[in-house]
Structure 1
Amino acid sequence: MQKFISSFQNQTIKRLLQLQEKARLRKKEKAFVVEGVREIELALKGGFQVQELYLNPDLFPAEKGEKLLASAAEVIHLSPEVYEKIAYRGSTEGVIAVVAAKEHSLDQIKFKSKSPLILVAEAPEKPGNIGALLRTADAAAVDAVLIANPRTDLFNPNIIRSSVGCVFTNQIATGSTSEIIAFLKARQIAIFGAALQASVPYHSVDLTGGCAIVVGTEATGLSDEWLENTTQNIIIPMEGEIDSMNVSVTAGILVFEAKRQRR
């Protein structure tokens, strides 16, 4: 018999809402919530395991979702009212998954290229910025994204949404600034920091070897520890009235300059 939930008071629904809202519970259960056919498909492609699948049968495209249905350990149908309560968007084709989390440790990072291109973000806080950085990284097919001193867990639903699932398509690791600097230096990867201090124009440096492009927060920039360990600081010359850009825009310009040079 197909399991069906039509009550907002159901304990399963309450847990699902808490997984969406509470990082502590996501960490405890080592699970998180993904909404939408495309995002769940990207999670599966990235090697993640779907534990539970919640469907609004009125919206779910059964003819396109056979792989999703087969991937889940448990499939639960929801009434339209209950689904609407837990869904953030109305355009995700009626499906929400609970997915088993993976570790984001530095020792799991593997490079296929002898000259990897790495994007490093120090202490990004806004989920929208993190999502945009991950979309940029995916678009440029960088070899890895490293998050130094993370201030939010990467399975925050807002990061998954704003990254359009690119949190699953990138090779990602987190660590302290010291750990990531040591990781890069041990692999002889040049460090280019986006910073005003002692900088040169971004297009004047050689980004064809193994290198990490490091961006900081818009409010404070890179920490002194990064500035003391960069191979070279680089800058995007500002020609208008302001002196900085959104961190994801900055990362996009620098990463695609590296890609241009590598062609």
Structure 2
Amino acid sequence: MKEITSIQNQYIKNLIKLQEKARERKKQGLFLIEGKREISLAIEADYEFDSILFFEDLITFDEINNQFKNNVSIIKISKEVYQKIAYRSSTEGIIAIVKIKDFSLQNITFNTKTQLVLVAEGIEKPGNIGALLRTADAANVDAVLIANPKSDLYNPNIIRSSVGCIFTNQIAIGSSKEIIAFLKENHINIYAATLQNSNEYHKENYLNSSAIVVGTEASGLSEVWRENATQNINIPMQGKIDSMNVSVAAAIVIFEAKRQREFKS
């Protein structure tokens, strides 16, 4: 078994690049996952693993070897190397180097007759994207579509804030126009969360295939969504502010759609 003890090792230096730079992840087709739960979820999602690094004081070789039966390189690392690479303090001594997946719209498949889809346009903060993915997982939506992304989905902050839900959701990326065309081709109604020309969200019917579309708190959704929506919707504010966190807003509407569907059944 290979062992790396120096942070000056070229392989380790390259992993730090993967951790820090989106262009390196895209160029090399690799990204890093930390933690047992996140790695387990990636395994369930059929991600292809390149190698596993472990720090023996926190996890044993046998634990890892039992989980990976295929040709995955397992590398023992020193405490110094582990602390240099680990993005969080509580990753249980295991870091995986994994091959990225293609987030093309063409890869989305639906197994239900009345789909419920979450669309997020132009979300910049990794924490918000992670929270949206957690909401999508909690509601068991059919797909999450990211329009005009401002952040690489394999950003370690997104993986961390999503608590691994980047691996539990069916995800695709595209421009707003591409995603609108995809939704229309699949006969999915579009409910765009915006103040302009909108109805209160709870007055709409989400029993048919529906896409809930949310944008940034700062600028909201672009005009193309408002023009192509089946219906624009809003969440009435009862306090002094006129907006809320995007993941909270998405959760309110998505679970209203779930409530309607469960009530009908």
TM category (shorter chain) comes to: over 0.9
| Partner residue, 2:169 | 170
Report if aligned partners of 1:189, 1:212 keep a CA contact under 8 Å in 2. Answer: yes
- The answer on whether the counterparts of 1:53 and 1:69 sit within 8 Å (CA) in structure 2 is no
The answer to whether structure 1 residue 141 and structure 2 residue 140 are counterparts is: yes
Instruction: Report the alpha carbon displacement of residue 185 of structure 1 after superposing the two structures with TM.
Output: 0.6
1:191-214 C-alpha deviation (Å, 9 max, x unpaired):
000000111111100011101000
Corresponding residue SS for 1:218: coil
2:32 is aligned to 33
State how far apart, in whole Å, the 1-side matches of 2:70 and 2:21 are: 25
**Equivalent residue for 1:79?**
78
Asked whether the equivalents of residues 115 and 142 of structure 2 are also in contact (C-alpha less than 8 Å), the reply is yes
| Cα offset, 1:62, TM superposition | 5.0
The corresponding residue for 1:161 is 160
Match of 1:43 in 2: 42
Amino acid at match of 1:136: T
Q: Give 1:67 deviation, angstroms.
A: 4.0
In the other structure, the counterpart of 1:132 is: 131
C-alpha change, 1:163 and 1:5, in structure 2 (3 Å) is same
How far did 1:90 drift?
A: 2.4
8 A contact 2:58–2:93 mirrored in 1: yes
State the 1:75 CA deviation.
Answer: 0.5
TM score, norm. by length of structure 1: 0.97
Q: Aligned AA for 2:11? A: T
Structure 1 letter corresponding to 2:12: I
The equivalent of 1:181 in structure 2 is: 180
Q: Does 1:90 align with 2:93?
A: no
1:108-144 Cα offsets, whole Å, 9 max, x none, are 1000011100000001111000000000000000000
TM-score (norm 2): 0.96
Counterpart for residue 55 of structure 2: 56
**Corresponding residue number in structure 2 for 1:220:** 219
State the alpha-carbon separation in 1 of the partners of residues 19 and 122 from structure 2: 22
Distance 1:126 1:25, change over 3 A: same
Percent identical residues: 60
CA distance in 2, matches of 1:159, 1:231: 30
Superposed displacement of residue 64, structure 1: 4.5
Q: CA deviation at 1:29?
A: 0.9
Is the deviation greater in 113-122 or in 89-98?
Answer: 89-98
Looking at structure 1, the residues matched to 167 and 20 of structure 2 have their Cα atoms a distance apart, in angstroms, of 20
Instruction: In structure 1, give the amino acid aligned to 2:37.
Output: R
Residue of structure 1 equivalent to 2:195: 196
Tell me the CA shift for residue 66 of structure 1: 3.9
Does residue 261 of the first structure (1) align with residue 260 of the second (2)?
yes
CA distance in 1, matches of 2:45, 2:210: 24
The alignment's C-alpha RMSD in Å is 1.1
Q: Residue type of the partner of 2:135?
A: T
Q: Secondary structure at the match of 1:207?
A: coil
Paired residue type of 1:23: A
Number of equivalenced pairs: 262
After the TM superposition, which residues 202-241 of structure 1 pair with which residues of structure 2 at under 5 Å, given as runs?
Answer: 202-241=201-240
Shift of 1:92: 1.5
Cα distance in 2 between the residues matched to 1:72 and 1:142:
33
The code of the aligned residue for 1:147 comes to: I
1:24–1:134 Cα change, 3 Å? same
Greater Cα offset, 6-15 or 69-78: 69-78
Q: Which runs of 5+ in 2 are unaligned?
A: none
